[in-house]
Amino acid sequence: MKRVTSLLIAISFVILFSHVVLAQQSPSQNKKALQKYFTSYTVNKLEWELLQFNLLWQGAFADETYLTSFPVVFDSTTNTFRAFFNVHERRDPQDKSFFSLPRPERESILNGAIESLSNMLGTSFPEIKTLPSLLYIEFKFRSKGGSLSNVAVYKNGNLIINE
């Protein structure tokens, strides 16, 4: 019995000791593996403000409308903020299809999203309110087959609906 107890204590000690050794090695191994990410990186004010905005914006339209919002990016080649919305055919199974809604109702839904985005983004970048060409938005629908189609585009202050 003493032998079994001694053996169990010895095994417990080995297991405990090996966890302590592994735990001590793990942080240094982890740091070494991630070392390239510990370098300084300059972020400009636009990037920082856009990051802060996207933390609030991401999914702002999820599950409550026909639309889902995605992060906004800044396109430095066109100097525009680019946004993307996914258009859902239905909000729930009993709902009318977005595409069967009268055009004024569809326009109203899309314009509501544009206005919401513009107001929220305009808090960080007030220039958007006076210069609508700074904002480019695509509304896309993914069919059951997986292909994407353009539902509408907002550019230069105008909403263009594809019919």
96 and 119 fall within a common domain: yes
Q: Which helix (H) or strand (E) holds 47?
A: helix 45-57
58 and 23 fall within a common domain: no
Residues 74, 150: contact at Cβ < 8 Å? no
Long-range contacts of 57-61 (CB under 8 A, 24+ apart): 57/117, 57/120, 57/121, 60/116, 60/120, 61/85, 61/113, 61/116
Tens digits of per-residue pLDDT, 64-98? 688 988 999 999 999 999 999 998 888 777 888 88
26 and 58 fall within a common domain: no
> What pLDDT, on a 0 to 100 scale, did the predictor assign at position 10?
53
60 and 137 fall within a common domain: yes
> What pLDDT, on a 0 to 100 scale, did the predictor assign at position 4?
47
Domain hosting 33: range is 2-38
> What pLDDT, on a 0 to 100 scale, did the predictor assign at position 89?
84
58 and 115 fall within a common domain: yes
Q: Which residues of the chain fall short of a pLDDT of 50? A: 1, 4, 7
53 and 99 fall within a common domain: yes
Q: What are the residues whose beta carbons fall under 8 Å from the beta carbon of 96, sequence distance 6 or more?
A: 90
Report the domain count for the chain: 2
Q: Which helix (H) or strand (E) holds 33?
A: helix 2-33
Q: For the whole model, what pTM was predicted?
A: 0.75
Residues 138, 83: contact at Cβ < 8 Å? yes
136 and 56 fall within a common domain: yes
